[in-house]
């Protein structure tokens, strides 16, 4: 990505760790064209599922998300290895960013904290937790990657039947430049959630990670290929280390 492209993309935020995206594609042997195809499909079709996901409203959701993030002082990012003690120990005033299936930890352990979720970061595979209508109306950063189309179709067909549909913002890992899709950086749901905060100017000192572990697959992980998931966790750790975290 050129400096000129980053400037266009960085009107309200500055992407971080985007260089890992191509490195990871090359490691797994994935083509960027697959990411681009799924992104185009999602951009072109999402409004057909529900009028509240049209491009204008997506832009509003994105602006509101960035504004909300910048108005908060501290954040807790919840990953798939989060424990009961960590969830029950959260303050009732915590500002939460949740990685995909980890929303299940709140649904099952402390539903009072659902109202504190600023954003759920998902690629559509955090089943069954992301199909729970108690997350209705939540802001969701929905990620279009090359292997996500079936998951995305499935979850959109579920969400569009809810009276209060989620506020969807499309994220991606390509060089596409658009006001309605966003690349904050990072690659997997957990590190992408952290990259989003850094991209919006939040200091590492104001971000606490819980439920992040590169050695094991968490109990709140969604549908997954175990071998690939373990390899992805290694990359997640690399990205988080780049941002200054030790997990």
Question: pLDDT tens digits, residue range 81-104?
Answer: 999 999 999 999 999 999 999 999
247 in a structural domain: no
Q: Say if residue 199's pLDDT is above 80.
A: yes
The pLDDT of residue 10 is 39
Q: Say if residue 107's pLDDT is above 60.
A: yes
Q: How far is 221 from 100, CA to CA, in rounded Å?
A: 8
15 in a structural domain: yes
Read off the pTM.
Answer: 0.93
Residue 130 pLDDT class (50, 70, 90 cuts): very high
Neighbours of 7 (CB within 10 A): 10
**Does residue 172 sit in helix, strand or coil?**
strand
Q: Which contiguous run of DSSP H or E holds residue 77?
A: strand 75-78
135 in a structural domain: yes
Q: Rounded to whole angstroms, what are the CA distances from 169 to 28, 52, 87, 136, 184?
A: 26, 11, 26, 15, 12
Q: Total structural domains in the chain?
A: 1
Sequence-separated (6 or more) residues with CB below 8 Å from residue 104: 126, 128, 129, 132, 220
246 in a structural domain: no
Give residue 162's domain range: 3-241
Q: How far is 110 from 145, CA to CA, in rounded Å?
A: 31
Order of strands across the sheet that contains 75-78: 181-182, 167-172, 139-144, 117-122, 96-99, 75-78, 207-210
Q: How far is 154 from 150, CA to CA, in rounded Å?
A: 6
72 in a structural domain: yes
179 in a structural domain: yes
Per-residue pLDDT tens digits for 2-40: 333 333 343 589 999 999 999 999 999 999 999 999 999
**Does residue 223 sit in helix, strand or coil?**
coil
Identify the sign of the CA torsion 215, 79, 46, 36.
Answer: negative
The pLDDT of residue 9 is 40
163 in a structural domain: yes
The pLDDT of residue 221 is 82
The answer to whether residues 152 and 141 touch, using CB atoms and an 8 Å cutoff, is no
């Amino acid at each position: 990505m050129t400096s000129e492209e980053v400037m266009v993309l960085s009107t309200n935020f500055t992407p971080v760790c985007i260089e890992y995206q191509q490195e990871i594609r090359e490691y797994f042997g994935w083509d960027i064209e697959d990411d681009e195809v799924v992104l185009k499909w999602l951009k072109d079709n999402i409004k057909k599922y529900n009028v509240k996901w049209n491009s204008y409203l997506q832009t509003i959701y994105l602006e509101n998300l960035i504004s909300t993030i910048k108005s908060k002082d501290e954040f807790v990012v919840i990953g798939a290895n989060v424990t009961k003690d960590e969830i029950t120990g959260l303050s009732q005033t915590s500002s939460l960013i949740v990685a995909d299936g980890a929303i299940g930890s709140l649904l099952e352990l402390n539903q009072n904290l659902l109202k504190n979720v600023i954003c759920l970061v998902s690629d559509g595979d955090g089943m069954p937790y992301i199909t729970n209508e108690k997350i209705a109306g939540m802001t969701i950063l929905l990620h279009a990657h090359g292997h996500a189309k079936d998951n995305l179709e499935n979850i959109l067909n579920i969400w569009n039947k809810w009276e209060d549909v989620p506020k969807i913002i499309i994220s991606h890992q390509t060089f596409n430049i658009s006001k309605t899709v966003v690349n904050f950086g990072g690659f997997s749901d957990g590190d992408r959630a952290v990259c989003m905060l850094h991209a919006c100017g939040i200091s590492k000192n104001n971000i606490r990670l819980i439920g992040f572990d590169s050695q094991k697959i968490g109990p709140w992980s969604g549908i997954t290929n175990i071998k690939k998931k373990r390899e992805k966790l290694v990359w997640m750790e690399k990205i988080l280390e780049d941002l200054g975290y030790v997990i």
